[in-house]
Amino acid sequence: MIPAMRNAVVITTIHPPGKATLAFGRLPGWRLVVAADRKTPDGWRQAGCRFIAEKDQRALSYGICKQLPWNHYSRKMIGYLVAIETGAHRIADSDDDNIPLENWGFPDFDGSYETTAPDRGFVNVYGLFSQERPSPWPRGFPLNRLLPEPVEVEKTSVKTVQVGVWQGLVKGEADVDAIYRLTVNRPIRFTHRAPIVFDTGTPCPFNSQNTVFRRALFPLLYLPAFVTFRYTDILRSLVAQPVMWASGYRLGFISPTVIQERNPHNLLADFESEIPCYLHPEKVTDAVQAAVRSGVSISENLLAAYEALARKELVRPEEMNLLEAWIGDIHRLGVS
């Protein structure tokens, strides 16, 4: 019998799990789920952690298990399904090189928060948490939108909102793209500030390093598998926001609550993997916003979004088969 979990942190790893994984496994009120890949030591175990080894994944009945590629970040979705099946109401994402700080956690999903104006187009969230000028930018932010500098805080207002996803920023090695690392590469020091919510029509990419989803939006955890490693969570974020807006939810950001001790990276390989991040963000959000509609379920809008992306050849046809398997799995687990 797998113990029930109301709050789950899901990590996937191709490395031997280290102190980041150990730290998330000790968080009170949260259960850690680790989805392995082929390079993960099969016999690894940790008290209080649900570890899904390669052989365990092969035995699961989820439809996505037959279609997910190996050695790809999207295998994290198996961890999401395990968390959903065992009763999770909140699912937090992290990576195996992030360590939670003492202040780790997220605000309430529903409340009154400082909120940007609507319909501003892409806004660089790092500019709102950093005094550096020119501002650093998050991975996946459209390079053609880096100037002018981001919206000033004075132009925001406090609103009562339903937040669907909170993104916590990262101390240490913040999530920037390979262009930033290859050209600027200065440390980013985020200032502490109140949470800020991005209103309808004001998108910003978010990642899967320190992020929490409410149960109503669990379908949007879908990580596309037939795109590059460095694009999968960014594409997820670009699809998610118009779908969220159609159902009355918003995206929120908070000051850093984890520190990243980054695993080794080949920056030129990262650059190659990130090319879709540089070319497609605005195309994706425009296509998805035109495809979604109010009054239908999150899953229906998610499917419509990917159908629109497939027609525009922004995702491969194979993605649709996996997405349909994902939607079938979460429906069987009681999520629509």
Query: pLDDT value at position 26?
Result: 86
- Residue 118: asked if its preceding bond is cis (omega within 30°), the reply is no
The closest alpha carbon to 165, from 223, 118, 103, 215, belongs to 215
* pLDDT tens figures, 189-204: 999 999 999 999 999 9
DSSP 103-128: T-----SEEEEEEPPSS-----THHH
How many whole angstroms separate alpha carbon 240 and alpha carbon 249? 10
The closest alpha carbon to 225, from 318, 305, 94, belongs to 318
The closest alpha carbon to 79, from 110, 108, 40, belongs to 40
Contact (Cβ atoms closer than 8 angstroms) between residue 333 and residue 87: no
Query: pLDDT value at position 71?
Result: 86
Alpha carbon 232 to its chain centroid, in Å, reads 9
Query: pLDDT value at position 85?
Result: 95
Query: pLDDT value at position 22?
Result: 75
How many whole angstroms separate alpha carbon 101 and alpha carbon 103? 5
Mean local confidence (pLDDT), 221-237: 97
Residue 275: CB atoms within 10 A of its CB come to: 13
Query: pLDDT value at position 11?
Result: 83
Query: pLDDT value at position 19?
Result: 66
Express as a percent the part of the chain with pLDDT over 90.
Answer: 74
Query: pLDDT value at position 25?
Result: 83
DSSP 8-state assignment for residue 314: S
DSSP 47-94: TTEEEE-HHHHHH---GGGGTPPSSSGGGHHHHHHHHHHTT-SEEEEE
Mean local confidence (pLDDT), 276-288: 98
How many whole angstroms separate alpha carbon 321 and alpha carbon 307? 11
- How do 49-52 and 31-36 pair as beta strands? parallel
Range with the poorest average pLDDT among 33-47, 167-181, 289-303: 33-47
Query: pLDDT value at position 154?
Result: 55
Mean local confidence (pLDDT), 167-184: 95
Mean local confidence (pLDDT), 62-75: 93
Query: pLDDT value at position 18?
Result: 64
Q: Is the pLDDT of residue 1 over 60?
A: no
Q: Is the pLDDT of residue 4 over 60?
A: no
